[in-house]
Amino acid sequence: MTMTQRDTDALPSVRACVTALPEQLLSPPYEMRSEMNWIDFSGTANPLGTPPSFIRAMETALAAGELNYPPDREAHALRSVLARKFGLSVESFLVGSTVGDMVRAVAQTYQPCTVGVAVPGPVEYALAAGNAGHRVVEIASPAGFTVPDPAAAERHGIVFDAAVLANPGYPTSRLLPRPTLLAYLDACTWVVVDERSIELTLGGESMVALVNEHRNLVVVRSLCEPFAMPGIPISYCIAHPDTIAQITRFYDSSCVPMFAEVIGELALSETEHLERTRDFLDSEIPWLQCMLNLIPGIDIFPAEANYVMCTFDGGPDLALGVANTDELAQRLQLAGFLIRKLEGTPALEDSRYFCVAVRTREDNEKLVAALREIIAGC
């Protein structure tokens, strides 16, 4: 199925948007943030927060006047660290800002073709591919929310030349099986795998080890999710050096942030922070799923990452405090909690869907208590 193109009231010379944007949460202005006490369950960042060493390093850099200098657009320091971390050559990495920026860098490298985008998923995949001139089609699972292999997709009339996948997927919170990816690599000219949250999963297997053998594979990673700093977007592509060289020809690297140099070495040394996070999530992800599933009207989907996709249905036969997900989100916001409504997300046109992050046990208990009070009055 082709991604829906949204009509616009713009001038005739303006092309149609490749996909409609789902509702986005507005970030409060800087001067208001200190006055707000919302607990944010709408993101996907590390529930244990940013490592103190990162904060100290950035404070030191600012005090030393690093803002007076342009950033290293080739990110030599960070690429050197990443090479040691993954055991690959420096030429296997390209550094940029957001994950969407990296997907767009890959998409604009290749001749226009039909690109399959796994759905449900972030709209930035379709925008990146569509704005690079590709035709975009949805790769929807015929059953559940697992990504079908290319042969299964073709049997349902979904045909494509390249693909953008995720490991784990958002908001489905499902990991990408290695055999499924290998099937895509055999079938596609190029494949992008978004692994921004792979460190925050239940034993998720990264696909980075495949890049040298498969030159049509590009893995995109980020420092934002594992180190809880969405305000400083630093992401990077990992691929065969020849593939990175091709992508670099079309990428100007102007979006590389200064802090990529500052925290480069720390990204390698902060292994203890990530180990504590994994130990915490091994028990907290199942716990939160269980607690959410016990609340009337809420159904959950199995989660393998630090966020849980749910539906809420008040139903005519249930005497609940709210009737639908929109009302639930509004009541939660008034109570001091933000959740991610998924209405408008590709393949989730149903307004019942929402997603909540896994945070600390204290925060998670507060959310569960608020949901019980709002929905069931207990």
pLDDT for the residue numbered 8: 46
User: Which alpha helices (DSSP H) does 28-112 contain, by range?
Assistant: 30-33, 52-63, 76-86, 99-107
Class of domain 67-268: alpha beta
- Residue 292 CA to residue 375 CA, distance in Å, equals 12
Q: Copy the structure tokens of residue 166.
A: 């995720």
26-47+271-374 folds as Aspartate Aminotransferase, domain 1 (3.90.1150)
Name the segment(s) of the chain with CATH classification 3.90.1150.10.
26-47+271-374
pLDDT band with cut points at 50, 70 and 90 for residue 260: confident
Say if residues 374 and 167 touch (Cβ distance below 8 Å): no
Tell me which residue of 241, 211, 209 sits closest to 79, measured CA to CA: 241
pLDDT for the residue numbered 67: 83
- Residue 257 CA to residue 96 CA, distance in Å, equals 8
H/E segment holding residue 365: helix 361-376
- Residue 293 CA to residue 127 CA, distance in Å, equals 34
62-73 average pLDDT score: 88
Residues 299-312 have pLDDT tens digits of 999 999 999 999 99
Residues 86-137 have pLDDT tens digits of 999 999 999 999 999 999 999 999 999 999 999 999 999 999 999 999 999 9
Measure the CA angle with vertex 307, ends 142 and 140; round to 5°. Answer: 15
pLDDT for the residue numbered 5: 45
Say if residues 354 and 348 touch (Cβ distance below 8 Å): no
The CA distances from residue 219 to 39, 69, 129, 308, in Å, are 32, 30, 16, 23
Name the segment(s) of the chain with CATH classification 3.40.640.10.
67-268
Percent pLDDT > 70 in the chain is: 90
332-348 average pLDDT score: 92
pLDDT surpassing 50 at residue 37: yes
